[in-house]
Amino acid sequence: MYYSVLEVTPTNEAWIPHYVKLAADIVSKHGGKYLANSANHQTLEGEREEPAICAIIQWPSKQSALDFMTDSDYLPLLKLRTDSSVSHHVLVEGKE
């Protein structure tokens, strides 16, 4: 199992409804599942500027996450998000 951890702070919000509507279907197409997608979060350790939105997506495999990121339907949405926000995306391997 792998997890995408995203922190997004929009520089404008016009793109968000379009992105959210389409991205969820592409996530699902690659076996992903949103575990969290919220503006309600809190940094518990360290000093940093809080992102506006935090999201966690569960993937069945690393390859599923990578396939999502290179999906031809997702690439225009990725460009839209990265051009209109400050975004950080980390892929984390789940281990017990």
What is the tens place of the pLDDT at every residue in 41-52?
999 999 989 999
For CA atoms 32, 38, 42, 48, the dihedral sign is positive
Q: What is the pLDDT of residues 52-91, one digit of tens each?
A: 999 999 999 999 999 999 999 999 999 999 999 999 999 9
Would you state the pLDDT for residue 37? 94
Per-position b or e across 15-29, b if 16+ CB within 10 A of its CB: bbeebeeebeebbee
Would you state the pLDDT for residue 91? 98
C-beta separation of 84 from 14 below 8 A: yes
Would you state the pLDDT for residue 35? 97
| Three-state secondary structure of 18-56 | HHHHHHHHHHHHCCCEEEEEECCCCCCCCCCCCCCEEEE
C-beta separation of 81 from 87 below 8 A: yes
pLDDT of 96 over the 90 cut = no
Q: Could you tell me the pLDDT band of residue 7, with boundaries at 50, 70 and 90? A: very high
